[in-house]
Amino acid sequence: MTDNAPAAQASEEVRVPVLPAADWANPLRDARDRRLPRIAGPSGLVIFGVTGDLSRKKLMPAVYDLANRGLLPPGFSLVGFARREWEDQDFAQVVHDSVREHARTPFREEVWQQLAEGMRFIPGDFDDDTAFKQLKDAVEELDASRGTGGNFAFYLSVPPKFFPKVVQQLKKHGLANPPEGSWRRAVIEKPFGHDLASARGGRAGYYDGIGAARDVIQNHLLQLMALTAMEEPIAFDAEALLTEKLKVLKSVRLPEDLGRHTVRGQYAEGWQGGEKVVGYLQEDGIDPKSKTDTFAAIKLGIDNRRWAGVPFYLRTGKRLGRRVTEIAVVFKRAPHSPFDSTATEELGQNAIVIRVQPDEGMTVRFGSKVPGTSMEIRDVSMDFAYGESFTESSPEAYERLILDVLLGDANLFPRHQEVEESWKILDPIEEYWAAHGRPAQYASGSWGPREADEMLARDGRSWRRP
């Protein structure tokens, strides 16, 4: 090496390219691998109507449970919007009390403190421009202080008649438009509309109770029916699921005689949970002449190659014998049995029962020979329960909903096409009911009106008792 060689070569500057956080991806993770927990990226949630029961009993506890499970980002932010003169700390106290009372996971102070640091409250009405300006300022402040990345979901936990106004205000004040590379999403609580026309136009008003059919059949049960009856999708993504569910909903056939194959009811006084309870018409704030249904049962058909001739019975109600959601697929008897009638007189029909809630699982019912030398066949069941087979409990419905919103996973969210097809099914039934009499009465704590049992009896069937 000569004397005039560049002595500084060893310390020459080395530059390592650094990717922006938004463009960085973990090379050890594959987006197609669903075995690993899905954790939300930088984001926040704004809840409109944050003082209501849904928010207090479901949404706030679900947010905490997600944080406690490690499924929310460290800088996650929660903003409440309501007509209360609260400060941020007042809102945090309300959330704290709700979490303590309703959360499903143990309370951990360190998790709570991290979550509480990102809580803000905006007082105001939905037509208050000043309040929405404050909301925009709060969102921008949280972007800077908590690193939410401009990603915010807006949860409309408000009566349907306010949906259009809130959405208009979000758009007017620039809250619906995300910064480049970010997202904004809105969650609209059911029911969306009270018929097809209002669902298309966004005009949805409550009366003294929107009714069991509109509240549950149009939203939940038709979705469960579509998921049960659809063909296998080509992929487990939102578009493929939508394609198959729409095929089912478009194939639904209403019964020719709606009077014989639909029933609506209204609970009367009775006993439930060991307590005497009043009837619907005696509830506070209910018009004594109200025709709102608290029970609905309908029979539908699906005109396609797989399901032609198979009846689908949908039933929902309030103040029934038990709170349960299930899907029961009951099989036809075999056309020929090698056993005589005395051997099978206690044998029912084979069935697969999918328990959606509260005890998630599945039961398969079939016939088995009774041990011994005699020939006797009885029903037996094989049972699977998530709670017994796995140490980790299933996430509560609102936990899954909020996490899916933050992840942008639309698999379980009905699209507007599904909503419209569901109203096309229900509208003729509601119109018939509006022109024919009043809901049948049933005792609180029972399984619905006698007319519902008679509806199935005419088809030679009976309702399954959960």
Q: Positive or negative CA dihedral for 231, 215, 455, 348?
A: positive
CA distances from 161 to 83, 190, 212, 294, 446 (A): 16, 12, 18, 21, 33
361-369 β-sheet, strand order: 325-330, 351-357, 361-369, 377-385
Q: Positive or negative CA dihedral for 436, 437, 443, 445?
A: positive
Cβ atoms < 10 Å from Cβ of 438: 13
Q: Which two tokens stand for residue 77?
A: 């932010």
Region for residue 347 given its phi and psi (left: phi exceeds 0; alpha: psi -120 to 50; beta: otherwise): beta
Q: Which residue of the set 96, 173, 220, 436 is catalytic?
A: 220
CB 327 within 8 A of CB 312: no
Q: What are phi and psi of 31, to 5 degrees?
A: -60, -25
Active site residue 416: no
CB 71 within 8 A of CB 404: no
| Alpha-carbon 268 to chain mean position | 28
**Strand ranges for 231-331 from DSSP E:** 252-253, 262-268, 270-272, 275-277, 295-302, 312-317, 325-330
Residue with tokens 């944050």: 50
Q: Can you count the helices (H) and strands (E) in the chain? A: 15, 16
Give the integer Cα–Cα distance in Å for 106 and 127.
Answer: 39
| Paired sense of beta strands 351-357 and 361-369, if any | antiparallel
Give the integer Cα–Cα distance in Å for 140 and 126.
Answer: 20
Give the integer Cα–Cα distance in Å for 56 and 377.
Answer: 51
Q: Which residue type occupies 305?
A: R
Cβ atoms < 10 Å from Cβ of 112: 19
Give the integer Cα–Cα distance in Å for 179 and 151.
Answer: 8
CB 462 within 8 A of CB 453: yes
CB 196 within 8 A of CB 416: no
Indicate which residues carry an active-site annotation.
220
